Structure 1
């Protein structure tokens, strides 16, 4: 049974009354920024609200965030912004650990500490969003945001030193600028949220898992250079871990999967794009030359692209996986 299937009954049955996060309220009364680094295996099941906004960066493992009436899956390298006024809760599969950095900022400006600094924090649009935002960070953005969070953490452990509050706020401002630029650069993805109406369940398979995310990326970027290293970097896997997990999930290697998806797309073009030459199609689906295209096409389908275009039939059509959840 997959993790979504194991966790969904618990998630759906666990939604109940909402409480205020009293601990965070007390922290905000004395300082407008709070950072915690968590390694979680299980968690309190109370939905809660709080002042301001919560910025979650997933570092290791998977978790489910219930925000309002929606469920979001968070994977390593993903950033989620949760408005504090929305009831929310995190669920972690107890069979594995989940590591995250959670930065909470009092967007209401009620903290007694450093009132002169609060306007600088409150001017960022992301602190006033009404809904949940989620993005998959490119590696360079991930590293920059991690560095800012590390600087905040270091300063919050220097409370015996002069100026630590100013340093925390300055690093928080730097972090908010990085996040704002990431959204402006188009890094935001549609949040992988599944609406969960009260009293009703939903199909756990509809939640995107990391390998399905890789496959969707491959489908949309066939023309590009889809190397193992590039895909591993994008989804924050090591190449070795991605290789093992992809093979276990799909039954073929990532390299084979990419080739087969390119052949599938080329079949569609051969039948429905009569104005495209073999070279045009080869480049359009990511092959380096028409010769490579023809060689791979024939090795997979036991017929040449030109013969397939002429007859509409191949010699091994059933061996090509379709773009389904198991393809």
Structure 2
């Protein structure tokens, strides 16, 4: 398997697009705040929160603070059947589960798991690393089962789910009025519902999608000027793009461009990482900004 310990100061790494993968993943928050959006609910991320993301479950990180520090651990597809065999029917089937899987650990449990994952990540030998991840899977699951459920993980309103699906269409740039009309609610109620359930204002979410599209275009066609990429990504002007970019990354587009190495003008899903490859199918990572 591949074991990774990553320290990141570049905020591009959390500007990822909606994505899903074949691996089983957990997020264990040590410091900072943010959230993970699913298609049908929101998981708040605060110290002590443990989130399970199942194979095929589409999700996107959102609003992660600059001091975020968390463990991200992934296991290959073969690990979920092992978990289900070991814990019988306590674990969900290998599909997108309907129930929420975000809970708050007590402080002693958080310290135990932080120490365990630190020890696993430090293992230099593949066999010890693999055994450690196998053990960590069961330990994380058992601590999760004993942890406190979070009321803030309720499912999204069906109207909000419909609006998110429309916003995900890459070839349409819906106005708020058009979006509200399509899902058959008022623009005011759509705005309030969006903020209440996702934790984001609708304009902020739309700008996030535009910024993701900018990074995608910039990575695919680095020879094109930033202004053209910004306009093609849906920003109405360079001033709007500059404001959104600087707020999200903490630096101007020109500063970012100067700092990016040749071929490294990346965004969603193209983080710089230090990676040590090992045979197998699990990944362990500790990430911070």
Question: TM-score scaled by structure 1?
Answer: 0.42
Question: TM-score scaled by structure 2?
Answer: 0.47
Higher relative contact order (CA 8 A, sep 6+): 2
Structure with larger Rg? 1
